[in-house]
Amino acid sequence: MGILNGKVVLVTGGGNGIGRDCALIAAREGAKVVVNDLGGSLTGGDEGSSGPAETVAQEIRAAGGEAVSNSESVTSLKAVQGMVEQAMDSFKGLHAVINPAGILRDAMFHKMVDADWDKVIEVHLRGSYNVCRATIEHFRTQEDGAYVLFTSTSGLYGNIGQTNYGAAKMGIAALSRIIAMEGASKNVRANCIAPVAWTRMTQSVPVRDEAAVARREQMAKMIRPDQPARFAVALIADAAKSVSGQFFGASGENLILYSQPRPIETVTKPEGWTLETILSEALPKMAEKFIPLGRAPVAAAQPAKA
C-alpha cells in the first residue's frame, strides 16, 4: 500500500528532471498520474514534443501503474483546463498538483530583452497561476486538494543574471502562501519547494575551468532530482495534511525550512521623520541588520532527530 493510494496527481514538467522523478515516485506510491510535459527546449523556444511525457507514462504503465501523458503548455489556461478534464476522464478525479515545469533565459538585467523577461514570467508565474486557477474550484468543492509549487533560491535570496527567473519564483512563493491561507477552511493546502538538483537547468550554467568541471561531477552524484521529488510527493500525502503555507528547500539529503519575510527592525519618531533624520538616524539604526548582497549559504545539515 503506497502513501498515495486512491489519489490522482497532475505533474507538470514530468518528462525530465525533477518532474520526471515526481511522476515516477507518485506512481510507485499508488497514485494515478497525468504526466504533462511540453517536450520543449530549456529556453522554451520551440514547439516541443509529446515524446518525453509519453515515455514517462509508458514507464509507469510498464511497472504496473496507471498514467496518461499530456504535451500541452502550462502557459495556456485552456490547455491546463484540458489536463484537468483528462484526469477526470481517465481516472475520475484529481487530488494534487505538482508543478516543476520551467525554463531558463538568463542574462544580466541591463542586457535583458523583453522577450526573455516575458517568456520566463509566462512559463513560471503565469504557468503556476494557470495550474492553480484551473483546479482550485474543484479542490475547494471536494474539500481536498494539495499543491506543490516550485520556487527557487534565486527568488528567495537572489542570483546574479536571473532577474526574470528570480522575480517569477518569488511571485510563486507569494502565490503559494496566499492560496494556502485562503484554502485552509476547505482543506486545500499549498507549499513550495526551492530545489537544488542536477538537472538540465543546472547543467546549462557555463563551465570555465577544470575546478568547475570537478564540482559538476560531484554535484551530479550528490544533488539528484529524485531527492526534491521525494519531498514533493511526501507533501501531497494525507499524512502531511497539517503542512501548508510553507517554503521548503531540498538540496541533496538536506531538507530545509525557509523563513518568511517578517519585520526585523522598526524605528519610530513620534514627532515625525524628516529627510535629514531618516538619513542620520533611521537608516544607520537599521543598517546593523541589513541583509548582505552576497548569496546566502544553504543551511548546514543537522543530525536527524528520532
Name the DSSP class of 253: T
Clarify whether 258 is annotated catalytic. no
Nearest to 35 by CA among 128, 97, 120, 89: 97
Q: Which of 147, 157, 165, 258 is catalytic?
A: 165
- What number of residues does the chain have? 306
* Ranges assigned E (strand) in the chain: 8-11, 32-36, 66-70, 96-99, 145-150, 188-196, 247-251, 254-257
| Angle of helix 127-142 versus helix 77-91 axis, rounded to 10 | 40
Nearest to 228 by CA among 204, 249, 247, 242: 249
What's the CA gap between 45 and 53, in Å, rounded?
18
What is the grid cell recorded at 121? 514570467
What's the CA gap between 117 and 136, in Å, rounded?
27
Residues forming the active site: 165
